[in-house]
Amino acid sequence: MRFKGLACIALLYGVFLFSGYGVLAGSEKNGAGLGLHCRYLTARGMVSAQFLHSDSGIIGVSQCPLLKKAVDVVE
């Protein structure tokens, strides 16, 4: 049972390492509610992203995306 769990975690780590994607770790509004600061956990560390924010989602995004591709990828 433990081996399957560890193997699953190792597989996910490898997928995130070679694909360059990160999972949302936290977010906060900034700049009088006009900006959204999102932090993503990747296999190589934390990555930050800034998005234009509106509650309706018409201009910018209403919330941070769950997955985000990081700039640098291991090839």
Quick: pLDDT tens for 12-70: 888 888 888 999 999 998 877 788 899 999 888 899 988 888 877 788 888 899 999 88
Distance CA 26, CA 61 (A): 15
Quick: pLDDT tens for 15-28: 888 888 999 999 99
pTM of the model: 0.77
Q: Which of 10, 11, 32, 17 has the alpha carbon at shortest distance from 70?
A: 17
Distance CA 64, CA 7 (A): 29
Distance CA 75, CA 3 (A): 28
Q: SS3 for 71?
A: coil
**Domain boundaries, given as residue ranges, for the chain:** 2-69
